[in-house]
A and B are shown apart, each in its own frame.
Chain A
Amino acid sequence: MRSSINQKLVESGESERLKDILRTRLIECGWRDELKAHCKEIVKRKGLEHVTVEDLVAETTPKGRALVPDDVKKELLGRIRTFLAQQST
């Protein structure tokens, strides 16, 4: 189920479109700035020499996920629903 939905999204190009929308929303609501500031803080705290991209990803992922506003999640879910409804008719 999950993979067939994913396949449909990718093949139709909808997945790229959704990614675009998500990216725009995250910038609009300040999510990106906030996460960027958070990353800078980590780098500053640990020192540039002692931090790798992996560390950053590991440390910021939970916070990043938690910070995504509900509105954005709802919108994306709605869009996926609409898309699937269109596909099935």
Chain B
Amino acid sequence: MGTKASNKPSSTSSCHHIEALKSSTSLLESYGFLFETFIRSPASDSIKSCDFGAENGGYKESSRKVPPAIKCCECDDSTPRLYACLQCVYFACFEKKHIQEHAKSSKHFLAMDISYGGVYCYRCKDHIYDDDLDKVAGISNNRFFSKLFIVLGLRLIAWTPTDIEIESLHSNPKRRKIENNSSVGLRGLINLGNTCFMSCIVQALTHTPLLRDFFLSDKHNCQMMAETQQCLVCELSRLFQEFYSGSRTPHIPYRLLHLVWTHARHLAGYEQQDAHEFFIAILDLVHQHCKGTNGAASNNSNCCNCIIDQIFTGSLQSDVTCQECHNISTTIDPFWDISLDLVTPEPTSLFDCLKRFTRDEHLGSFAKIKCSQCTVHRESTKRLTMKRLPIVCCFHLKRFEHSIGYHKKIKTLISFTEELDMTPFMSGCKTNDMGECIVTDDQQYRYTLFAVVNHIGNLESGHYINYIKQGQSSWFKCDDHQITKSTIQEVLNSEGYLLFYHKKVLDYE
């Protein structure tokens, strides 16, 4: 004993007013009923905050009753702090002391806060923690959440520490708290000979919040059996440990480089490489290694739920419209990144690029496509839209132009914003009379910038650096082993090459 109780206020032993009522009246039943009705009813907060996503709105709408308009019995206010008397049917506000007056006049001194379920004792003038009442609330909570998770198809269980865990927590009393201005997670990377293309991608990956959470919670189960040394996921796992260990000396990623060389031959050697190519290569390798090297599942990239696919895979819808019969044939393909053209007329912003990426494109008379309805080759138009967006969206601005006979780098400044709403580029986005997309206030397509990779120099010789976001709003510039403080302004004014955006609100899967 003593272990669990020590986390709670020392007055766990309730108050004698509650004790007396528990034995003489049906206090526990009343509390259970009120708790179930107000705290764990389908219309209460908890179910709503588990947003099922708008497209899945069926459950949400049908099960959600209009919440009863609860008001204070005295002042008619629906203030945020309403209490229900635990000894009779009475609701009153706390702020204007109406619940206290009720307690005084009727001698009903126990009341429950109907937003959170806390119990207030008027005699003690305080909120009381009572083990039996907590138990009642716990049962109600469990019932509620297990029902909810059946609906959502989830199996989430609250963490109840085992004896070993409790003991380990007690014997290791030191807690590390990450402060806002903490530098944990910031680490330079030694350049091993033109490996800045790797450094900047590693920085971006280690600062991808969901990927970090995955690795730091030790979720990877190595599938490579005898060859764990060859597993790139294990190496990434070690890398995350290195990055978040609190050490400030630059890390030397020689093992990662060696693994990449062995598994992706085209990137081997001390040549300069393209950061985008490396990004795709490392995603592909990690994706394969999540399944083991020779697993059949790795061939089918469409239905994989490895961490890479969960975070980075989205899908593009391509609609080809026949110009004769207007029949539309639709195909859907997965993507890890979106490559955006910068050729003439030069776009000026990321928004421009995306608009161009998703507009109707005439395929011309030389590229007739067989229409399934006309059964002959017809001129068609093609349009790409986002069918499903990944949690992390990587935009690749095609700054390197390779045509027959010439190669050049496009140095145009493309403006991009810290916040991005992808609604206009979604498949089936509603448009107004002007053909412009109606932007709704839907949260699910809102994104925030968290990493930017830049290329400095020209095609023959250049250097990669990147900017990463740390915490809520601090930005840092990573140039191989050097890390310096930066600002969002500097980031937004930079000549971006790869832009990494993270989804703002995460849905339950």
Q: State whether A23 and B49 are in contact (beta carbons under 8 Å apart), knowing that A48-B9, A53-B118 are contacts in the complex.
A: yes
Chain A proximity of B421: nearest CB distance (Å): 14
Is B67 on the interface with A (CB-CB < 8 A)? yes
**Contact size class for A?**
20 to 34
CA of A53 to CA of B9, assembled, Å: 13
Cα of A26 to Cα of B443 in the assembled complex, Å: 15
Minimal Cβ-Cβ distance residue in B for A29: B472
Q: Are A10's CB and B69's CB within 8 A?
A: yes
| Cα A28 to Cα B419 with chains together (Å) | 13
Q: Can you list, as one digit per residue, whether each of A50-76 has a CB less than 8 Å from chain B (1) or not (0)?
A: 001110010000000000000000000
Given contacts A6-B78, A16-B67, A28-B504, contact A53 B49 (CB under 8 A): no
**Number of residue pairs A-B, CB distance < 8 angstroms:** 41
- Whether B10 contacts A52 by the Cβ 8 Å rule is no
Of A15, A16, A20, A30, most B-chain CB atoms within 10 Å: A16
B66 within 8 A of A: yes
What residue in chain B is nearest A10 (Cβ atoms)? Answer: B69
Could you say which of A10, A23, A49, A57 contacts B78, with CB atoms under 8 Å apart? A10
A13 and B49 CA atoms in complex are apart in Å by 15
Determine the distance from Cα of A48 to Cα of B120 in the docked complex, in whole angstroms.
Answer: 17
Q: Mark B404-426, 1 if CB is under 8 A from A, else 0.
A: 00000000000000000000000
Q: Point out the residues of chain A lying under 8 angstroms from B43, CB to CB.
A: 16
Q: How far is B69's CA from A88's CA once the two chains are assembled, in angstroms?
A: 22
Across the interface, do B69 and A20 meet the contact criterion of CB distance under 8 Å? no
In the assembled complex, the Cα of A12 lies from the Cα of B66 at a distance in Å of 7
Chain A residues with CB under 8 Å of B67's CB are 13, 16
B505 located at the interface, meaning its Cβ lies under 8 Å from any Cβ of chain A in the complex = yes
Is the pair A30, B9 in contact by a Cβ cutoff of 8 Å? no
Tell me the smallest distance from the CB of B371 to a CB of chain A, in Å: 44
CB of B16 closer than 8 Å to a CB of A = no
Q: Closest B-chain residue to A55, C-beta based?
A: B126
Check B174 for interface membership: any CB of A closer than 8 A: no
Q: Which residues of A are at the interface with B, using a C-beta cutoff of 8 A?
A: 3, 6-7, 10-13, 15-16, 19-20, 23-24, 28, 30, 48-49, 52-54, 57, 79
- Can you list 30 residue pairs at the A/B interface with Cβ under 8 Å? A3-B76, A6-B78, A10-B69, A11-B66, A12-B66, A13-B64, A13-B67, A15-B78, A16-B43, A16-B48, A16-B67, A20-B45, A23-B45, A23-B49, A24-B505, A28-B504, A28-B505, A48-B9, A48-B10, A49-B10, A52-B125, A52-B126, A52-B127, A53-B118, A53-B120, A53-B126, A53-B127, A54-B125, A54-B126, A79-B441
Q: A3-B76, A12-B66 are in contact. List 6 more A-B contacts (CB 8 A).
A: A10-B78, A19-B45, A23-B45, A28-B505, A48-B9, A52-B127
Q: Which 8 A-B pairs have the closest CB atoms?
A: A52-B126, A13-B66, A10-B69, A53-B127, A16-B67, A20-B48, A30-B472, A48-B9
